[in-house]
């Protein structure tokens, strides 16, 4: 999950000279796909109005039309992993943010997901991660899906971070995942199995705490 944070929070780094509330709200009405009003987004997320203004400026800087398509998302994400191929992982991540399955991410989609990852409850974060791994959206994580995710992560990190991947390495990771997660040994991992296993894993719990200190 740690790979998600770096990309999602990059927009908060793109601070510009402060402007007043009127300027920000006027700008939010000018894009092709106007997002929800600041007050509504503040009520729906765990961000303050000022934080939403900063996020929106960065979002609009990257995506003047007000929406992000998958190719643009992949281009942005690839900048964080120059020594690997992040395209497949970015594809899965894009689908997790594209909650309406219409092939684009609007500002509201972006901040709703980011709010969960950075400020959500532990269960909300784990549910979001499960949704990312559940590629076919059937409510379960199967071995094929987990293998695809593991391969995408290895490709993304690249040869300079990981040693050359042997053919059986992804399968070893998948076997370890199911050994820990698949409590009833039926070959798939449910949301509740996933949450329980993560809560019992100290490494996963430490990664969850990192999200809370990003902003």
Amino acid 45: pLDDT = 95
Please tell me the distance from the alpha carbon of residue 143 to that of residue 175, in angstroms, as a whole number.
8
Each residue's pLDDT tens digit, 179-192: 999 999 999 999 99
Q: Is the dihedral of CA 139, 41, 50, 81 positive or negative?
A: positive
181's tokens: 């997660």
Q: Is 20 exposed, middle or buried (0-12, 13-18, 19+ CB in 10 A)?
A: exposed
Q: Is 109 a residue whose pLDDT tops 70? A: yes
- Give the 3-state secondary structure of residue 143: helix
Between the CA of residue 198 and those of 33, 100, 203, what are the distances in Å?
37, 27, 9
φ/ψ (deg, to 5) at 20: -85, 170
Instruction: Give the confidence band of 26 by pLDDT, cuts at 50, 70, 90.
Output: very low
Amino acid 171: pLDDT = 80
Q: Is 31 a residue whose pLDDT tops 80? A: no
Q: Is 138 a residue whose pLDDT tops 70? A: yes
Question: Looking at residues 34-47, what average pLDDT do you find?
Answer: 83
Question: Residue-wise over 88-100: b if at least 16 C-beta within 10 A, else e?
Answer: bbbbbbbbbbbee
């Amino acid at each position: 999950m740690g790979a998600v944070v770096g990309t999602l929070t990059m927009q908060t780094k793109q601070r510009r000279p402060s402007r007043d509330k009127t300027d920000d709200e006027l700008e939010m009405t000018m894009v092709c796909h106007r997002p929800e009003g600041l007050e509504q987004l503040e009520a729906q997320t765990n961000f303050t109005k000022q934080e939403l203004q900063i996020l929106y400026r960065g979002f609009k800087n990257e995506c003047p039309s007000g929406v992000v398509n998958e190719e643009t998302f992949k281009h942005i994400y690839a900048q964080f992993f120059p020594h690997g191929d992040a395209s497949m992982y970015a594809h899965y991540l894009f689908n997790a943010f594209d909650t309406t399955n219409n092939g684009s991410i609007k500002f509201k989609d972006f901040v709703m997901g980011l709010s969960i990852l950075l400020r959500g409850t532990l269960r909300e974060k784990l549910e979001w991660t499960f949704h990312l791994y559940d590629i076919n959206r059937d409510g379960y994580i199967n071995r094929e899906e987990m293998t695809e995710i593991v391969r995408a992560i290895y490709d993304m990190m690249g040869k300079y971070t990981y040693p050359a991947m042997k053919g059986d390495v992804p399968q070893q990771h998948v076997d370890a995942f199911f050994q820990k997660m698949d409590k009833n040994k039926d070959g798939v991992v449910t949301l509740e199995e996933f949450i329980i296993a993560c809560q019992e894993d100290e490494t996963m719990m430490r990664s969850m705490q990192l999200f809370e200190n990003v902003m």
